[in-house]
Chains A and B, each alone.
Chain A
Amino acid sequence: MESLTLSDVEQKYYSELFLSCDVDNTKKVASNGKVLDLFRAAQLSNEVVHQITELCGATRLGHFGRSQFYIALKLIALAQSGLALRVESLNSVRDLPLPRFVMGKNEQETRHAVMFADTENQGSYFPRHPGRVQAKKVSAHEMIQPCVPTVDPQPDTTSPVVSPHQSPPTSPHAWRKHKRQASGGNVDRQPSVPGVVWPPFREAQPVTGDGMWSAHSPPPVQESWVSFTDTPPSSTLPMHPPSAQPESTTVRTVPSAMTTNEIQRQISGYDDPWKITDEQRQYYINQFKTIQADLTGLIPGSAAKEFFTKSKLPILELSHIWELSDFDKDGALTLDEFCAAFHLVVARKNGYDLPEKLPESLMPKLIDLDDSAGVPEPAPEVGFSASPVEVTPNKSPSMPSLNQNWSELNQSNEQWETFSERSSSSQTLTQFDSNIAPADPDTAIVHPVPIRMTPSKIHMQEMELKRTGSDHTHPTSPLMAKPPELSDETKLAATIKFPGTTVGDGYSSSDSFTSDQEPISSAVNRQRSHSGTSPEGLKVVAPPPPPPRPHASHSRSSSLDMNRNFAAVPAGPQQPGVVAFPPAVPPRPLPTQTSVPHGHRSVEGDGLPAHTSTSPHQMPEQPNFADFSQFQAFAVDQPADDGENASDSGQAERCAETTGTMKTAKNDVQSEERNATTVNSTKVSTPLAPPPKPVRRRLKSEDELRPDVEDLPQKSNIIATVLATQPSIPRSIGKDKKAIQASIRRNKETNTVLARLNSELQQQLKDLLEERISLEVQLEQLRPFSHL
Chain B
Amino acid sequence: FIRFVVLINYPLYIRSVPTQGELKFHYTVHTSLDVVEEKISGVGKALADQRELYLGLLYPTEDYKVYGYVTNSKVKFVIVVDSSNTSLRDNEIRSMFRKLHNSFTDVMCNPFYNPGDPIQSKAFDSIVSTMMVQAC
Decide whether A and B assemble into one complex. Answer: yes
B-contacting residues of A (Cβ < 8 Å)? 300-302, 304-305, 308-309, 315-316, 318-320, 322-323, 326, 329-331, 356
A residues less than 8 Å from B109 (CB atoms): 301, 326, 329-331
Q: Check B111–A320 contact: CB distance below 8 A.
A: no
Given contacts A323-B106, A329-B106, contact A316 B111 (CB under 8 A): no
Q: Is the CB of A323 within 8 A of B110?
A: yes
Q: How many residues in B have their beta carbons less than 8 Å from beta carbons of A?
A: 13
Contact indicator A323/B111 (Cβ below 8 Å): no
Q: A320-B122, A323-B121, A356-B122 are in contact. Are A305 and B111 (CB under 8 A)?
A: yes
Residues of chain B with a CB closer than 8 A to A320's CB: 121-122
25 example contacts (A-B, Cβ-Cβ < 8 A) are as follows A300-B111, A301-B109, A301-B111, A304-B111, A305-B111, A305-B112, A308-B112, A309-B112, A316-B120, A318-B112, A319-B110, A319-B121, A320-B121, A322-B111, A322-B112, A323-B106, A323-B107, A323-B121, A323-B123, A326-B109, A329-B105, A329-B109, A331-B109, A331-B110, A331-B111
Contact of A319 among B105, B113, B126 (CB under 8 A): B113
Report the minimal beta-carbon distance from B55 to chain A, rounded to whole angstroms: 34
Residue in A316, A319, A322 with the greatest tally of chain B CB atoms within 10 Å: A319
Contact residues in B for A302 (Cβ distance below 8 Å)? 111
Residues of B whose CB lies within 8 Å of any CB of A are 105-107, 109-113, 120-123, 126
For the complex, give the distance between the alpha carbons of A316 and B122 in Å: 10
Q: With CB as the reference atom, state the residue of chain B lying closest to A303.
A: B111
Query: How distant is the Cα of A123 from the Cα of B61 in the complex, in angstroms?
Result: 75
The residue of chain B having its C-beta at the shortest distance from the C-beta of A306 within the complex is B111
Closest chain A residue, CB of each to CB of B122: A320
Complex CA gap A329/B110 in Å reads 8
Tell me, rounded to whole Å, the shortest Cβ–Cβ distance linking B31 to chain A: 32
Partner of B122, one of A304, A323, A326, A331: A323
Which chain B residues border A309 with CB–CB below 8 Å? Answer: 112
Known contacts A323-B107, A329-B109, then 4 further A-B pairs from the complex at CB < 8 Å, ordered by chain A residue: A302-B111, A304-B111, A329-B106, A331-B109
* Complex Cα–Cα for A309 and B113 (A): 12
Q: Do B106 and A319 touch across chains, with their CB atoms under 8 A apart?
A: no
**CB proximity of B61 to chain A, nearest CB, Å:** 39
How far, in Å, is B114 (CB) from chain A's closest CB? 8
Contacts of A330 in B (CB 8 A): 109
Q: Are A315 and B111 neighbours in the complex by a CB distance under 8 Å?
A: no
Q: Which residue of A lies closest to B109 (CB)?
A: A331
With both chains docked as a complex, state the minimum distance between the C-beta of B18 and any C-beta of chain A, in angstroms: 25
Report the Cα distance A319→B107, complex, angstroms: 9
Contact A326 B112 (CB under 8 A): no
Q: How far is the CB of A54 from chain B (nearest CB, A)?
A: 56
A301 contact set on B, CB distance < 8 A: 109-111
Please give the distance in Å from A342's CB to the nearest CB on chain B.
14
Give, as a whole number of angstroms, the nearest-CB distance from B122 to chain A: 6
Compute how far the CA of A632 lies from the CA of B66 in the bound complex, rounded to whole angstroms.
Answer: 64
